[in-house]
């Protein structure tokens, strides 16, 4: 494995299992020193367990790398600051932040409780903001002191957030927010030598194993859809080679990689002064507009995907 991240320091949240674990292991194998953050809770966010993160650190050390466990809560500002400070104190700095931690509490909107909504939004959206805020302060202070950064923020959105998925209004809303946060943060941090990108991954993990499309997947397909492919993209984005890539959302499914293009202004028309006349105007716009994409990023008709006409 080429050491494309030799000497760089990475903080990976939610790195005890699944995609986060693969991020940490591949970063380490390419030379990075890694802070392995994980609360070790269940997929719905309940409970704590340090052993998954400890296991990843042990794997990294066994391959001759350097890593340390962090058990902080990504959605708590003080914990986020502490994990960034741990990277600085332990390894001398921070070059890479990968916001990966997440939970699932899927419900149809009419069955969703306030706690289902709050927990998912908190972990995903605030849990992306809090570590980024702490890291950005560190990099800005370095820049103001005359030091150069070649730093990375890599966030985790989802096809559910950028395309939409039934039963995941909380998760999708959080992930859509992360995509927007990525785009804006990229603009804000570029002057400080920091890039910010996000990935929209689809992979077979414990969080997706029971979801439609993944449940019952055979071993061959599980391998093809393994999280290792997601880590491959992230590890390159974390490297110095990606210094010119920022503000992008990478859709990664198995070995396929693409760029998800964001909202763009489509067909336009002049309004009528009387609201009653807007029916024909909107019908014309609908006829000319592309349909919303499905979970594969492809516009098509179907349940929840209205046809162009009204």
Enzyme catalytic residues? 158, 171, 175
In this structure, are residues 161 and 173 in contact, taking their beta carbons and an 8 Å threshold? yes
188: helix, coil or strand?
helix
CA 251 to chain centre: 11
Pairing state of beta strands 96-99 and 33-37? unpaired
In this structure, are residues 212 and 234 in contact, taking their beta carbons and an 8 Å threshold? no
DSSP H stretches of helix in the chain:
18-29, 51-62, 77-91, 114-121, 127-144, 159-162, 169-189, 219-224, 228-237, 278-288
In this structure, are residues 158 and 175 in contact, taking their beta carbons and an 8 Å threshold? yes
Radius of gyration of the chain (CA): 21
Using the CB atoms, write b or e for 250-259: b if 16+ within 10 Å: bbbbbeeeee
In this structure, are residues 60 and 34 in contact, taking their beta carbons and an 8 Å threshold? yes
């Amino acid at each position: 494995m080429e050491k494309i991240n030799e000497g760089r320091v990475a903080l990976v949240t939610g790195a005890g299992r699944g995609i986060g674990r693969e991020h940490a292991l591949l970063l380490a194998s390419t030379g990075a020193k890694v802070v392995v953050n994980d609360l070790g809770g269940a997929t719905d966010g309940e409970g704590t367990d340090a052993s998954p993160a400890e296991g990843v650190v042990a794997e990294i050390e066994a391959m001759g790398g350097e890593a340390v466990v962090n058990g902080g809560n990504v959605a708590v500002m003080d914990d986020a600051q502490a994990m960034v400070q741990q990277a600085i104190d332990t390894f001398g700095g921070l070059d890479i932040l990968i916001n990966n931690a997440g939970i699932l509490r899927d419900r149809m909107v009419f069955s969703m409780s306030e706690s289902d909504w709050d927990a998912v939004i908190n972990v995903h959206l605030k849990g992306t903001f809090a570590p980024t805020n702490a890291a950005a302060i560190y990099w800005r202070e370095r820049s103001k002191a005359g030091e150069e950064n070649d730093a990375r923020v890599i966030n985790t959105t989802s096809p559910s957030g950028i395309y939409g998925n039934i039963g995941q209004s909380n998760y999708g809303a959080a992930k859509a927010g992360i995509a927007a946060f990525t785009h804006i943060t990229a603009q804000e941090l570029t002057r400080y030598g920091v890039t910010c990108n996000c990935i929209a991954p689809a992979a077979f993990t414990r969080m997706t194993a029971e979801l439609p499309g993944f449940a019952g997947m055979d071993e061959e397909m599980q391998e093809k859809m393994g999280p290792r492919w997601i880590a491959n993209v992230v590890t390159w984005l974390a490297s110095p080679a990606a210094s010119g890539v920022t503000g992008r959302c990478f859709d990664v499914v198995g070995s396929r990689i693409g760029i998800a293009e964001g909202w763009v202004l489509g067909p336009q028309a002049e309004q009528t002064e009387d609201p009653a006349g807007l029916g024909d105007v909107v019908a014309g716009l609908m006829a000319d507009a592309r349909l919303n994409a499905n979970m594969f990023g492809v516009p098509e008709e179907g349940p929840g995907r209205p046809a162009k006409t009204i």
